[in-house]
Amino acid sequence: MPRGGPVRSQKSASDGIVLAVDNPRGVAVAGALRLALGRLQPHVGSIARPNAAFGPLGEALFWLCSLDQLLIDVHGSSYEDVRDKDPDGRLVPGLRFARNRVAHGVEVASVSEINPENAVLGLGILGQMRLGTPANLTWSRFDAIPLPPPKLRRPAQEASYQEHLAGKAVFETVEDGVQWLCSTAGV
């Protein structure tokens, strides 16, 4: 029997990978994940207290990776194949990279402030700013994050972080990961 209790077979839009809602651990983890996401949201644009998001972000990443791992434990490589082929699922390994770095005290996000008084039309990076955009918590550039020792590195997680997270808004990408995982898990 899989960890967390019995699993009822269901079909989903994600090639049939669904952790049944009657799995108590899956339901508890998904609930904790949603609560952590709610605690993260108020801190994403805080310039006055930029470090205030560090704890809630770490908590949300912890529960996100816990649900991802539960799906791996139950469905193995068939789940990982679905996750890694899905446009939204592909960011989950990058979020796992971020969680692993946060667990070792590494800052993986910072508050970016766009000052409308200093904004000049034509000098913004397309798709990354708008005049009057409020401060936002964004993922750090990959090359700004201290990496683990070579034997602990995970190239797929690093590639996912670089492609799907680096320079992007933290809350929105975490929220996308939460929605994809909960939908895939059926919880």
Residue 155 CB burial class (10 angstroms; 0-12, 13-18, ≥19): exposed
The answer, yes or no, to whether residue 156 has pLDDT greater than 60, is yes
Mean pLDDT score across all residues of the chain = 80
pTM beyond cutoff 0.75: yes
The mean pLDDT value for 95-107 works out to 90
Query: 11: pLDDT confidence band, cut at 50, 70 and 90?
Result: very low
The answer, yes or no, to whether residue 78 has pLDDT greater than 70, is yes
Q: What contacts 2, CB < 8 A, 6 or more positions away?
A: 23, 73, 74
The answer, yes or no, to whether residue 102 has pLDDT greater than 60, is yes
**Structural tokens at position 160:** 């996912």
Instruction: List the end-to-end C-alpha distance of the chain, in Å, as a whole number.
Output: 19
Integer CA distances (angstroms), 70 to 2, 9, 64, 79, 95, in order: 9, 15, 10, 10, 15
**pLDDT above 90 as % of the chain:** 47
Amino acid at position 10, single letter:
Q
> What does DSSP assign to residue 16?
T
Q: Where are the domains of the chain?
A: 24-185
Query: 4: pLDDT confidence band, cut at 50, 70 and 90?
Result: very low
Helix and strand totals (H; E) in the chain: 6, 2
Query: 162: pLDDT confidence band, cut at 50, 70 and 90?
Result: very high
Query: 165: pLDDT confidence band, cut at 50, 70 and 90?
Result: very high
